[in-house]
Amino acid sequence: MGKKHKFDYFDAFEKHSKLAVAEAKLLVETIEQFTEASALHDNMQKAHELEHEGDLINHEIFKTVATDFITPVDREDIIEMSQALDDIVDDIEDVMQHFYMYDIHFMHPQAIEFAKLIKGSCEALDDAMCDFRNFKKSKNFKSLIVKVHDHEEQADQLYIKVIRQLHVEDRENPMRVLVWSKLFDSMEACCDACERASDVMSTIMLKNV
């Protein structure tokens, strides 16, 4: 009987972080090419397909971690890492769905700036994830994690700026303030999700060095 192939959890994490990057790139594309909410169906379908790929990765992780005799890190940490990555992809898909559900008629000028920060957060997280398997020996891993936090701080500052701008410049249009406040809430949540995933990686590192 041939030797059973051992499941590579770190490889699965990397695949999921790359899905997050792909989803973030799709968000940027969606905003740059926006004409009207009713035209978002194709990109929403692409986003859902990426989200489904992430679900399949997590299914394999959960199925394997339940039966593996030995895992590279604690089972609870593997599950938490998987869920944190899944949250990122889910949150980005949510943004595109909200564009459609709220039937927006224009794209806010700061939306593309926010989307590019989300993309940068996902790319920084993916860079860190590609080095995650080497966290015990890597000299770069900590600095890669810091880059994720830097993007989240930039997102916080942009969020404060755009929410104030909405209430100052659009106060006579309360519906616009309400809708775009909710949309920017959703976009800011994407960067928060990247930071949470990087925090899980940092915690795993501290527990295992």
Instruction: Return the minimum-mean-pLDDT range out of 5-9, 93-97, 181-185, 204-208.
Output: 5-9
Three-class SS state of 71 = coil
Do residues 85 and 199 touch, judged by C-beta distance below 8 A?
A: no
Residue 138 has pLDDT above 90, yes or no: no
108: left (phi over 0), alpha (psi -120 to 50) or beta: beta
Enter the pTM of the model: 0.94
According to the model, what pLDDT value does residue 101 have? Answer: 96
9-207: what fold? Methane Monooxygenase Hydroxylase; Chain G, domain 1 (1.20.58)
- For the chain, the structural domain boundaries read 9-207
Three-class SS state of 38 = helix
Segment 104-135, tens digit of pLDDT: 999 999 999 999 999 999 999 999 999 999 98
Average pLDDT, the chain: 94
Three-class SS state of 78 = helix
Do residues 122 and 88 touch, judged by C-beta distance below 8 A?
A: yes
* CA distance linking residue 42 with residue 27, whole number of Å: 12
Do residues 152 and 191 touch, judged by C-beta distance below 8 A?
A: yes
DSSP codes joined into one string, 125-194: HHHHHHTGGGTTT-SSHHHHHHHHHHHHHHHHHHHHHHHHHHHHHSTT-HHHHHHHHHHHHHHHHHHHHH
According to the model, what pLDDT value does residue 57 have? Answer: 96
